[in-house]
Amino acid sequence: MERSQTVTQKFSSFSSSSSSTSGRDDKPREIDRSRSLGPVKLEKSYGKKERDTETVTIEEDEEEGQEEEEVEVVVVVNKEEEASSAPEEPPEASFGSISEEVDGFLSFLLSIDDGRDQWPEPPAMPEPTIKKFLDFVEEELVKYESGKDGAPPPANDELVLFDAIDRVAKLTSALSIFSSDTKYNKAMTRASSILRYAMCFLEDEFHSLLEDSKPKKDTGTARPKTKRRPSIGHLHDAIDRCVPPPSEPDLAEFPSTYTPEIIERLSGIAGAVVSAGYATECCQVFTISRRNAFDVALSNLGYEKLGVDDVQKMPWDSLETKIATWNKVFRQTVEVAFPREHDLCEAVFAGHSAIAYSIFHNFARGVTVLLLGFAEAVATTKRSAEKLFKVLDMYETLRDMVPRIDALLRTTESEPDDSSAAHDLTTEVALVRSRLGEAVVAIFCDLETSIKTDMGKNAVPGGAVHPLTRYVMNYLKYACEYKNTMEQVFRDHKNSENPSSQVEDAAKGGSDDNHNPFAIQLMEAMELLHTNLESKSKLYRDPALCSIFLMNNGRYVMQKIKGATEIHQLLGDTWSRKRSSDLRQYHKNYQRETWSKVLACFKDDGLQARGHVAKPVLKERLKSFNSMFEEIHKAQSSWVVSDEQLQSELRVSVSAVIVPAYRSFLGRFSQYLDPGKKSGKYIKFGPEELENYIDELFSGNPSSMVSRKRT
């Protein structure tokens, strides 16, 4: 009688890969454990302990066979067929099938997590399936890490691996539900170990991509792949481990540009690591790498980190250069680096907006605080007038960049209503800007002190423009080029000292120069200069030279104001008209002090007696005129009037008074002198010659008419 054998075997769903082995040992009763992957429809068997059904049972009697709860395949084997052919191997499972089975198990565990108390004993666990899955993942990780010369794997393979790692993380978490069970604990321990291995590897790969994929200058040699010890479990070593690369592009190219392929790989790794619960380590690697890149870019631009003591001890020439570099760096950081870094964070941590925002905010805050440290140190340096304009440049940089920082941070807030992060950072910037503003006010007000204390006792030769006048007016001219900024600085300063003044100014009209703190300060400086110059004019013994000195300086002031619209606007037309009136008065004083006595020589009074010209008196008049004019020419030709227009105006005004009077006098009385050589003794100058000599006045070149006549 032909016997039939019933072979009970757990069904495997990995049907995508099957093979038959002709040379297999004829032992159909036992299936290799390495290929027994457990039941496919796990939801039907997880309610009980796993039965020991891994060996094939030969049923001698069909009536004795008991139907299992698992789905079983009944195979009827004819003895003759068994003898004639070797049994087929069970089909080999694909990774996709294994993954589906693991997913089913995970779903089942998660479904009973809330009702954990209803399960006195853990449900059956497909140990072979889990083992096969973990073996596969571990093998793929080894292959991935030992890739050919660091070449990236195909994108699809990488995504499959990331998906598998995510499944390992979920498996580790799910198994912990019944971690008190020996089998569960063993599987959980192994899954956890593989997960940590995967995280270490992915972290290293993440770091390598960040460091080695940056554009580099062509050095002619290939740079080996950067290796770094993983930080998982060693967070406190992170800073010591991260060494910046030897070269970086300048800030114009910062942050480093990655290709779309690299960004996609970075995003994939970040997603896998974050999903596995290692977001902290991933963020740390990314943050340190990007910060190192920024620091190197700063160094390439010539910017160096300086402490407060370094800044305060630095010579002004060196500090001036550092400030110029700082202004350029800060503007480019906010306008170029921050937007690019924001986009990079969003791309790498796509799907994790809160993490992306946190990383970008920390980066922006760290960089901003670093740069603000230098600005704050400059604000505390010793005050000196030459620092005003560089400090104003820094003030304007911070003022202009605050709205950009605020807008960028607010657009990336994970919570639209939460603006605290943006507010905190912009508040810090505003605080440093305020300190720079206070430094500006103090430096500018020190100008008044400089004017008051300039009490030199040496008169400027020739009544020329005093160095103090040149310094103050050039200083004010350049300061008024920052008119809007200076007005803002002084208004803020006034409001900080007297908050109620802000309301008062608004009520009176803040645009009125009468209530403009900077305009008031400017007028005060101008009045101090005017007072100082009047005091210095008294150093001259000659009243005429005193007037020339005041004219020179007054004209210089007016010309500077005329050439600077900002100063004129601040001082106003009333002030300008008053100063112009002062100049006209100085001119009248000069003519009176110098030429009134000369004109007296040409009066008719005393020249005639009893209807006849008194020749002795006439001769004395002419001799007196000649003597006075020679002295005036000798003295005033050495006087200095550097303004060509003022010089011409003075000469023309003198000629217009003296030459016609002289010509008229000679026309009336020259005939009463004896003709011949003796008349030349009294009439030394002709009217045209006299005019030529007047044109030599105020040239700054003393000359003697006597020596010229002899030659």
CA gap 211, 610 in Å, rounded? 115
Asked whether the beta carbons of 439 and 422 are under 8 A apart, the reply is no
CA gap 374, 308 in Å, rounded? 7
Query: Residues with Cβ < 8 Å from 302, sequence gap 6 or more?
Result: 325
Find the domain containing 379 and state its range: 302-453
Are residue 411 and residue 480 in the same domain, yes or no?
A: no
Residue 397: Cβ-neighbour burial (10 angstroms; 0-12, 13-18, 19+) = buried
Residue 481 lies in a domain: yes
Are residue 430 and residue 475 in the same domain, yes or no?
A: no
pLDDT score recorded for residue 153: 60
Helix (H) or strand (E) run with residue 599 in it? helix 565-600
Are residue 628 and residue 678 in the same domain, yes or no?
A: yes
Are residue 438 and residue 572 in the same domain, yes or no?
A: no
pLDDT score recorded for residue 266: 92
Are residue 554 and residue 699 in the same domain, yes or no?
A: yes
Q: How many domains does the chain have?
A: 2
Helix (H) or strand (E) run with residue 78 in it? strand 75-78
Residue 678 lies in a domain: yes
Helix (H) or strand (E) run with residue 371 in it? helix 353-379
Asked whether the beta carbons of 108 and 46 are under 8 A apart, the reply is yes
CA gap 173, 175 in Å, rounded? 6
Are residue 609 and residue 684 in the same domain, yes or no?
A: yes
Distances (CA, A) of 81 to 2, 55, 62, 360, 564: 11, 21, 20, 71, 113
pLDDT score recorded for residue 253: 53
pLDDT along the chain (711 residues), means of 10: 34 31 35 31 38 36 39 38 47 71 78 63 78 82 68 66 81 78 81 84 88 53 40 35 38 64 90 89 92 86 89 93 94 91 92 91 92 95 93 96 86 52 83 95 93 91 95 95 95 82 50 76 95 95 96 96 91 93 96 94 83 86 93 95 94 95 91 72 90 94 59 44
CA gap 622, 614 in Å, rounded? 13
Closest to 168 measured CA to CA, from 93, 271, 255, 275: 275
Residue 147 lies in a domain: no
CA gap 437, 496 in Å, rounded? 11
Give the DSSP per-residue string, 104-131: HHHHHHHHHHTTGGG-SSPPP--HHHHH
Are residue 540 and residue 684 in the same domain, yes or no?
A: yes
For residues 217-236, b (16+ Cβ closer than 10 Å) or e, as one string? Answer: eeeeeeeeeeebebbbeeee
pLDDT score recorded for residue 504: 53
pLDDT score recorded for residue 131: 82
Residue 179 lies in a domain: no
Residue 91 lies in a domain: no
Question: What's 655's domain CATH number?
Answer: 1.20.1280.170
Are residue 449 and residue 477 in the same domain, yes or no?
A: no
pLDDT score recorded for residue 128: 81
CA gap 254, 292 in Å, rounded? 12
Are residue 533 and residue 406 in the same domain, yes or no?
A: no
Residue carrying structure tokens 């003697």: 704
